[in-house]
Structure formats: structure tokens, C-alpha cells
Structure 1
Amino acid sequence: MPIPPTDPPSRRTASPVEISGLLVLALAAASLLLFVLVADGVREGATLAFDEAVLRSLRRAGNPASPIGPAWLEIAVRDFTSLGSTAVLATVTLLTAGYLAFDGKRAAALFVVLATGGGMLLSFALKIGFDRPRPDVVDRLVDVHTLSFPSGHAMGAAVTYLTLGVLIVRTESKRRLKVYVLAVALLLTLTIGLSRIYLGVHWPTDVLAGWCAGSAWALLCWLVASWLQRRGQIEPADPN
């Protein structure tokens, strides 16, 4: 009696959620790796020549107190850099959490506070651990007294604006709103970091490290929020 043919075992394909999760995890790992490489270069002094060259290029020749560009640019940069201050970031976080809470997304509001607060504590811990002094090759255009590596403004902006961005994206269903929110978060993070270099209060590698660490934190928060959302512990996206 002939044996009927058997169907080959079906292969399970990865779902879009799993693929996006792996992609986000890979980006977070890449950000952490870049942070480690930059930090290692800073500890060994390998980045000093690059840091000094960039800072000097942003000052007029022979005058380390005079930044390049028109007078209004310095004023604008001072205004933009304040968007990365602790007071402003805390205010933005609380306002966002309040909006989510009033919108009935109380779990998401709590996650916003915990995620951004945890990222800021990590930033302070890294500063203490590396104990790098501020630049002294050019005049600083704003008064600062804290440690330099990583940039608290750059990392704080990434932690706050990117984390808030990805969490808002997790609770929104409209694609154009998601793109807008992430674009604004990225623009703010980049602008604030660059302003610290222009003002002479951070080495360029401080800012790069801050971006890397803050971005990795925001991406990991995205993964955690996605996992909690699938478990029903964070409110799903609006149906409309």
C-alpha cells in the first residue's frame, strides 16, 4: 500500500512586531557600542586633538572669546541650549505626563516619568564616573560648573525628547503624527547638542557620547513600552 506524501514542516515567519523589535534592539546596541568607543578614546586622550580643533574652528582667529557668525546667532544658540536644561526637561516631562493622564492613559503617564527620570539619573552617574573637566581652550559663552562627559544637555535632550517621542508614538495610531513627533524630537536633540559645542561648554565628544547614551536609553524604553503595551499594562493606540 503506497504511503501518502506528507507536507513539509511549515516554517514560522517573524511577525512585524518581532522584526521591528529586533531592529530597535540592534540600533540600541549600536548606540551603546559607539558610546563605549568614544568613552575609551576620551580616557586614553585619543580624541583631544579632534576636540580642540572643532572648538577652535568655532571661534574667530586669534580671539577665543568671539564665536563665528553674526551677533544674533549667539543669542539664538543661547536660547536653544536652554531647552536642554534640567528645569525645562523636567517641565516638559511633567506636562507630557499630565496630558497622558488627562487623556486616560495613566499607565503611560507613569512610564513617562519613570523612563525620563531614570535616564537623567544615569546621566548624572556617568558624569561622576568619568569626571572629565570642561573645555578650557576657548572662552565659555555661558556659566557652567558641573563635569563635562557626557554632555548632560545632549543626553538629557535625547533621554527626554526621544523617550517622550517614542512613547507618544506607541500611544498614537496616525502615521503622520508619529513622523512629526519623532522628527521634532530628533531636531531638538541635535540642535541642543550642537549648541553646547558652539558655546564652548562641551567637547564635541561629550556631545556625541550624550547622544549615543541618550538614544540607547530611548530605544530601550521603546522596547519596554512595546512589551508592556502587548501585555495590556500600557494603554494601546487610539483607534481613530
Structure 2
Amino acid sequence: MLVSCPVVGFGVLAEDVLEGDTTKFDLAIMSALRATDPASPIGPPWLQEAARDVTSVGSVVFLSFVLLAGVVYLLLIHKRALAIWMAVAVVGGELLGTILKLSFNRPRPEIPHVTRVFTASFPSGHAMLSAIAFLTVGALLSHANQELRLKAYFMSIAVFLTVAVGISRVYLAVHYPTDVLAGWCIGSGWAILCWTVALWFQERPKRGPET
């Protein structure tokens, strides 16, 4: 059930984008963020610089370091199976994102970008990979700890980073809002699926024979 909700959300968004139903919504938000100059987002220069820094958190390079740190941590606390599954989940999600981008091939917003981009627009790769990496890492690290405060801490940081990266992509005009929403949907769905499968495998050895 948890997996189906974001997947259905992605499907609805994808259909609406292909039919052009989201154009007015997308352009209204993009225009609001560039009230005076289409080439410059609203806000002081430091806000643009901060947005660039935040958006880099969703890059493949940074997320690779996050993945490495998470895997090493799980290995250090003797959670080898979870470490392997974390790596498989994040790398598999990156491949899924590439396939989806090539399939939809939506052009980027026709607004001067504050940062350079080279790939298609839908879904947002940064939003999707951030959701996959941060939520998967956050969930698996939470599962590896018994203390409730640590569980809440890991998941709060994961959600915050995921949302911040997505918002920065729209602010920098490299993605439409629906690109980011779709990225969040499919990314969170993938993370939930991977988390569910990991928990299922973890619980299997504990089940005794039925009588």
C-alpha cells in the first residue's frame, strides 16, 4: 500500500505532463520565482549561491559519498546484508532514473538556468536520487538502531535533504515543479520498496516452522 501511493502519483503526473495539462501550473510557479528578471531568481545573491550548494547535495558524486558512508557504517556495526542491500537499492534507483529520463525526454524549462544541465527534465534526477538515497539510507540506518530518538533523527534529516534538493531545482529553473514532484514520487516509492524487501529478508530467518 505504501509503495502504490507514490507510484500512482507518478503515473498521474506523467500522464498529465505528456498531455500538457500541467503547463499552466508549472509556468505560474516558475514565473513567480522570477518576478522581475527571467534570467535571475527572486532573492538576494547569497540565496542563489545557497541554492547552488543545496542542489549539489543531490548530485551523483555527493550521493555516492553518502552511499559509501552508509555502507561502511553498516559494515562496522556488523550489518553486512543491509550494507549490500543499501548499495543495490541506490545503484538500482540511479539506473531506473536514467531509464525514465530517456523514456520521457521532456525538454528543460525555457528559462535561463543558474546552473548547467545536460539531460532531460522529467523526472528530476536530483529529486529522485535524493529521495532514493537519503530515504533508503535513513530507513536502513534507523532500522539498525533501537533508540527511537536516533530513528527519528535519521529519517528527519533524510526527508529534509530530499525536500531541500527538490526545491532548489525549481528555484534554479533547471526543472519544472512537476519534474520534482514526479522525482519525489518515484524516488520515495523505490525507497519504500527497497526498505520493505530488506525488512522481509531480515525477518525470514527469525520465523520458525509453522505447526
Could you tell me the TM-score, scaled by structure 2's length?
0.95
Mapping for residues 53-68 of structure 1, pairs under 5 Å: 53-61=28-36, 63-68=37-42
Look up the equivalent residue of 1:107 and give its one-letter code.
Answer: A
With normalisation by structure 1, the TM-score equals 0.84
Aligned AA for 1:189? T
Partner of 1:120: 94
Residue number in structure 2 paired with 1:85:
59
1:4-83 maps to which residues of 2 (within 5 A)?
Answer: 26-61=1-36, 63-83=37-57
Gaps of 5+ in 2: 207-211
* Partner Cα separation in structure 2 for residue 27 and residue 230 of structure 1: 19
Amino acid at match of 2:6: S
Q: Shift in Å at residue 91 of structure 1?
A: 1.1
RMSD over equivalenced CA pairs, Å: 1.1
The counterpart of 1:172, out of the listed 129, 136, 145, is: 145
| Superposition map of 1:187-202 within 5 A | 187-202=160-175
1:163–1:222 Cα contact (<8 Å) kept: yes
* Letter in structure 2 aligned against 1:192: V
Residue equivalent to 2:128: 155
Output the CA distance in 2 between the equivalents of 1:232 and 1:190. 36
Identity over the aligned pairs, expressed in percent?
48
- The answer for the alignment partner of 2:117 in structure 1 is 144
Residues 58-81 of structure 1 deviation map (CA, whole Å, 9 limit, x = unaligned): 0132x1012101111111110000
- Residue pair 1:158, 1:189 contacting (<8 A) in 2 also: yes
Equivalent position to 2:68, from 94, 101, 104: 94
* Other structure's SS at 1:59 match: coil
Name the aligned partner's letter for residue 55 of structure 1: M
- Distance (whole Å) between structure 2 residues aligned to residue 33 and residue 112 of structure 1: 24
Match of 2:209 in 1: none
Per-residue deviation, 1:171: 1.3
The CA distance in 2 between the partners of 1:109 and 1:57, in whole Å, is 43
Quote the Cα distance in structure 1 between the aligned partners of 2:199 and 2:76: 21
Residues 132-180 of structure 1, C-alpha deviations (whole Å, 9 max, x = no match): 11110x2110011111100000000000000111111221111010001
Contact kept, 8 Å, 1:134 with 1:202, in 2: the verdict is: yes
CA distance in 1, matches of 2:162, 2:125: 12
Task: Give 1:102 shift.
Answer: 2.1
- Per the alignment, residue 11 of structure 1 pairs with none
Give 2:188's aligned residue. Answer: 215
Deviation at 1:187, TM superposition (A): 0.2
Structure of higher CA gyration radius: 1
1:203 aligns with 2:176: yes
Given the alignment of the two structures, is residue 182 of structure 1 paired with residue 163 of structure 2, yes or no? no
Gaps of 5+ in 1: 1-25, 234-240
Matched-pair contact (CA < 8 Å) for 1:64–1:139: yes
Distance (Å, rounded) in 2 between the aligned partners of 1:194 and 1:27: 23
